[in-house]
Amino acid sequence: MQEEIQKAFEVIQNGGIILYPTDTVWGIGCDATNAEAVSKIYQLKQRAETQSMIVLMNGEKMMYNVFKDIPEVAWQILDLSEKPTTLILDNPRNVAANVIGSDQTLGIRIVKEPFCFKLMERMKKPLVSTSANISGQPTPKSFAEISPEIINGVDYVVNLQRDKISGKPSTIIKLTSDSQVKIIRK
């Protein structure tokens, strides 16, 4: 795993994009602070830059670097969640502008999955995570279902968990600064 983390880190450091296993489905990712790398992902997915993407984080410190104010309910939801949960929060900072939604929100997920966690520990930055498919096509449930167009379009494919069958994508919950909670995807 250390070798894969190092290879992925080097590609990301140089502005590249990777195909990698997450705690949910296979994802396409890059440094969430690098607008050029984020644009490469939008191009590969044939997705409008108005559709924001999720950003993975590895803990509280990284969250506070991106959000000045985090509602208390966010921590309660994360503590109580039994499955991967993405929170959409208001007014992110210190990330590429093209990863932020037009309503000034950002979807984030704290991951404990060892590869993602350790890669971000090495990067010291959040990691973009979007499903490994062309926009509008079904989300692949395994590495074998990922289209050659996606595999050939990234700068590096992580050689881990290729036999794993993914579960469902994460639950998505939107939290507003005035404490409203809205479930976007169960």
pLDDT tens digits, one per residue of 77-118: 999 998 899 999 999 999 999 999 999 999 999 998 899 999
- Contact partners, residue 165, CB within 8 Å, separation at least 6: 141, 142
Element (H, E) at 90: strand 85-90
Query: What number is the average pLDDT over the span 173-181?
Result: 81
Confidence of residue 9 (pLDDT cuts 50, 70, 90): very high
Please give the pLDDT value at position 112: 86
Length of the chain (residues): 186
Tell me the C-alpha distance between 169 and 148, whole Å.
Answer: 21
- The percentage of the chain sitting over the pLDDT mark of 70, rounded to a whole number, equals 99
Band (pLDDT 50/70/90 cuts) for residue 166 is: confident
Where does the pLDDT of residue 186 fall: very low under 50, low under 70, confident under 90, or very high at 90 and above? confident
Query: What pLDDT, on a 0 to 100 scale, did the predictor assign at position 104?
Result: 94
The answer, yes or no, to whether residue 168 has pLDDT greater than 80, is no
Residue 152, judged by CB atoms within 10 A of its CB (0-12, 13-18, 19+), counts as exposed
pTM of the model as a whole: 0.93
| pLDDT exceeds 90 at position 5 | yes
12 confidence band (pLDDT: 50, 70, 90): very high
